[in-house]
Amino acid sequence: MNLRPLAALGIVALCASLAAPSAPVSAAGDTILFGSAVSLTGSLTKEGHLTQEGYEFWKTYTNAHGGIKVGGKTYKVDIKYYDDESKPATAASLAERLIDQDHVNFILGPYGSGTAFTVAQMVERKKIPMVEGNGAAEKIFSQGFKYTFAVLSPAKRYLEGVLDIGKHQKPAAQTVAITAASDSFSQEVAQGAAEWAAAHGIKVVYNNKYPETATDVSSIISALKATNPDIILNAGHLNDAVLVHKALKEQNVLAKMYGYSVGPDTPDFTNSLGKDANDVLGGAQWSDAVKYHGDPGFYSSAKDYAKAFEGAYHHRPDYHNAESTAACLAFQYAIQAAGSLDPEKVRDALAKLDKTTFFGILKFDSRGINVYKPMVVNQIQNGRLVTVYPPGLAEAKVKYPAPPWGQR
């Protein structure tokens, strides 16, 4: 008996089923079905899982509290996920599948600007609204799309707070070096930081990018070191943040401040780097120190949200969790306001939305991006993440300048 083709087929089928995990979903008449392609494998795995946690937390809360009331009828909510493998093209085709085959009512965004951009094109074609909390590149919002809304602050603003902190120290930081990954989000973060620095009298002495797939950034760090900057900024994602920070220590680069767009907020950063993570600053969309008083329908304060979230997932919510939950809330309020599940009516309600939540203000400009919500800056102090900026929300004073390597 020849088993070879059968065995090979079995393996391929097994791989395929693992590559696209999916949960059974009931698309019954009394359920509002959301769909989302998130990065459950690939380079953005960690961030993808944080996104999914944020969505699931909202789903559990909403269903436990009766669901969403739409024009006199109450609906439960459910979310169908596919794994986009951190690939933009895959995310778009999965969004198409969610809309055409799974008949989801609405789309919740993927993680990352690259994937959000391709999914935005898809929902535009299908005329199904998407709210996303994890794609901050303005590139997504300069195409005239009408069906994509983002609850988070634009990418260009990620590291402004870090620069502002440096500017107000005594003595003030005067120079900045910027390294950035080559993806569109990171490039916009770097561009925004460079523009802000130039406009506020901080000299940009180094500004260079590395490929997203870089496995060694030593030579970029060597060149950066030669410029002897007061502030070092990295625009990238978690993995490159760790890579850059390790390389900075290896090359013994001493700056007064180290700021990252993504990284310090996730416990993985501290777990990977140990004491070297201390005194690092990170731009963040949210922290549990923010003081908004949310409208009824969900946890009204960041502290309450954080406490309940930690009870469910056994870790403090980071801003990726919070912004993902906020994306769901935008839908919840818009569906209630529309009093309908009609995609067009919900889209129009999203465009008019003006709600305050634990996360901040949910309000979109004509491009669909939330420019009404400020960023915060967190610093890792003795292994703990604390909010240090803006001054009104600061839980602790910024530690400045950062001590030399080995003394943290």
Partner 1 sequence: MHLLAQDLVNGILAGGILAVVALGFSLVWGIMNIINLAHGAFVMLGAYVTWQLFTSFHLDPFLSLPISFVVLFVLGYLIQRFIINWVARAPVLTTFLLTFGLSLLVVNIALLIWTGDTRGVTTAYSGSNFTIGGITVPWAKLYTLIAALVITGVMYVWLHRSKTGRAIRATSMDIGAAQLAGVRVAQIYSIVFGLGAGLAGVAGTLVSLSYSLNPAMGQPFLIKGFVVCVLGGLGSVEGALVGGLTYGIVESFASQLDFSIGSQHISGAGLQDAVALVVLLVVLIFRPTGIMGRATA
> Which residues lie near partner 1 (CB under 8 A)?
4, 7-8, 11-12, 14-15, 18-19, 40-43, 45-46, 48-49, 86, 182, 208-211, 213-220, 222-223, 226, 238-239, 242-243, 246-247, 249-252, 266, 268-269, 271-274, 276, 405-406
Sign of CA dihedral 336, 342, 348, 350: positive
In 3D, which of 190, 297, 154, 181 has the Cα closest to residue 237?
181
Q: Give the nearest distance from C-beta 398 to partner 1 in angstroms.
A: 24
- Runs of H (alpha helix) within 157-276: 160-167, 184-199, 218-225, 238-250, 267-273
The two tokens of residue 253 are 């680069």
* Closer residue to partner 1 in complex, CB, 97/249: 249
* Closer residue to partner 1 in complex, CB, 157/225: 225
* Closer residue to partner 1 in complex, CB, 213/366: 213
Residue with tokens 């030579």: 219
CA dihedral 121, 50, 396, 283 (to 10 degrees): -30
Question: Biggest alpha carbon distance in the chain?
Answer: 81
Alpha-carbon span 24 to 59, nearest angstrom: 15
Q: What is the CA radius of gyration of the chain?
A: 22
Alpha-carbon span 180 to 187, nearest angstrom: 6
CB-CB contact of 99 with 128 (8 Å): yes
Alpha-carbon span 333 to 108, nearest angstrom: 14
* Closer residue to partner 1 in complex, CB, 142/219: 219
Residue 68 has a CB neighbour count (10 Å cut-off) of 20
* Closer residue to partner 1 in complex, CB, 86/357: 86
CB-CB contact of 220 with 208 (8 Å): yes
Q: Three-state DSSP class for 360?
A: strand
Q: Give the nearest distance from C-beta 268 to partner 1 in angstroms.
A: 4
CB-CB contact of 242 with 272 (8 Å): yes
* Closer residue to partner 1 in complex, CB, 118/239: 239
* Closer residue to partner 1 in complex, CB, 44/130: 44
The two tokens of residue 136 are 């901050």
* Closer residue to partner 1 in complex, CB, 78/85: 85
Q: Give the nearest distance from C-beta 219 to partner 1 in angstroms.
A: 4
Alpha-carbon span 375 to 255, nearest angstrom: 23
Q: Give the nearest distance from C-beta 319 to partner 1 in angstroms.
A: 16
The pairing of strands 281-284 and 354-357 is unpaired
* Closer residue to partner 1 in complex, CB, 12/396: 12
Q: Give the nearest distance from C-beta 82 to partner 1 in angstroms.
A: 14
Alpha-carbon span 335 to 332, nearest angstrom: 5
Q: How is residue 383 annotated by DSSP?
A: T
Q: Give the nearest distance from C-beta 384 to partner 1 in angstroms.
A: 18
Q: Give the nearest distance from C-beta 124 to partner 1 in angstroms.
A: 29
Q: Give the nearest distance from C-beta 187 to partner 1 in angstroms.
A: 9
Q: Give the nearest distance from C-beta 101 to partner 1 in angstroms.
A: 22
Q: Give the nearest distance from C-beta 264 to partner 1 in angstroms.
A: 12
* Closer residue to partner 1 in complex, CB, 28/226: 226
